[in-house]
Structure 1
Amino acid sequence: MSIHVVLYEPEIPANTGNIARTCAGTHSHLHLIHPLGFSTDDRMLKRAGCDYWPNVQIEHHDRFSDIPEKYPNAVFYFIETIGEKNVYDFDYSNPDADYFFVFGKETTGLPSELTDQFKEQCFRIPQTDLVRSLNLSNTAAIVVYEALRQQAFAPIAIKEAAD
């Protein structure tokens, strides 16, 4: 069982950096679908203070269709404000499943070709109508930790508090 975060053409490096940190801290895999709105070369990462980047299990893809081809048994969920169900309506506890959570661009979200094709697997994070959407890195953290909660945090080692 593993958790995968898929960022579809992310544009804002700080969001991707925060999501990468969440992935490193939870043993989740990060998939970046190109083009990216920023550089991931070593100089740029060091400048951004991304010293955890070597601990991120990361894959780069030219298109979304590369991922289901490589992971034919994956379970995909698409996070989008148009989703009719919410994150808490799904069961992520199957110990044999690889869960892929797909997030869209910060400015335009996921393309309609994906959300139309996978309508039953689209969900949203509950929120008021006072904002258009939640921040991408916050949303990814909410989703990853909900999946981990349902899995009793099995994929990660939780440090015991010192007495």
Structure 2
Amino acid sequence: MVGQVLCSEATHKTSGAKEGYINALSHIFVSTGRWFLVVQDPTTRSSDEVTPPRAGLINVIFDRPVIPPNTGNAIRMCAGAGASLHLAGPLGFNFDEKNVKRAGLDYHDLADVTQHANFHEAFMALPKSRIFAFSAHADVWHTDIEYQPGDVLLFGPEPTGLAEEVLTHPRITQQVRIPMLPGRRSMNLSNAAAVATYEAWRQFGFPGGE
């Protein structure tokens, strides 16, 4: 069944229910303190078949991630900041790997997470959003951007970063980088996503935060 809601506010603390459905997980979202698990038939799921319940204040896209704990950490980070996480395939791991679950999916306040077949589909799912591509070779710092609700923060796979075809895509609004000391190659993916997400959220005044 496509888009079946498995758990609601009344059952979200039942660990057995969560574990029972975790291997079929393909889409997660949180709304007003409630979390839901929504599964789709893997032969039919696509980004345009399931509509998220709300547009993300901040959208984070991981293009072809390969290290499970980084994605798990990002899920938990996005839950904390109210951001939406988009995973553009092909993924370098199975989404039900224990490292992903350990890092993020055992956290009861789950983020809005959507899988897409590739970065093209991820971009199409966010047609009106500005897209900021993070690259160690960019000239503009991420703090120089005045972020707007709905903006996309785009990150490439570990350890290569975004491919040239992504960086030069016409949907890219600006390439940006997170400043580092000289001689350092790059930041950890989930750390970089956290730095960028919280900068955008800070500019918005941390709405909903406490």
Unaligned runs of 5+ in 1: 159-163
Residue in structure 2 matching 1:106, options 158, 162, 183: 158
Aligned residues: 154
Pairing 1:138–2:208 present:
no
Q: Is the 8 A contact 2:142 2:177 kept in 1?
A: yes
Q: Is the 8 A contact 1:24 1:56 kept in 2?
A: yes
Partner of 1:125: 178
Which contiguous aligned blocks of 4+ residues in structure 1 show a shift greater than 6 angstroms?
A: none
Give the letter for the 1:133 counterpart: S
Partner of 1:36: 91
Distance 1:46 1:78 in 2: 27
| Other structure's SS at 1:32 match | strand
Partner of 2:107: 52
Root mean square deviation of aligned Cα: 2.1
Task: Give the TM-score taking structure 2 as reference length.
Answer: 0.67
Distance 1:49 1:127 in 2: 27
Q: Which has the larger radius of gyration?
A: 2
Pairing 1:79–2:134 present:
yes
Give the letter for the 1:136 counterpart: L
Q: Is the 8 A contact 2:76 2:104 kept in 1?
A: no
Q: Work out which structure has the larger RCO, using CA pairs closer than 8 Å and 6 or more positions apart in sequence.
A: 1
Unaligned runs of 5+ in 2: 1-55
Q: Is the 8 A contact 2:69 2:100 kept in 1?
A: no
Task: Give the TM-score taking structure 1 as reference length.
Answer: 0.85
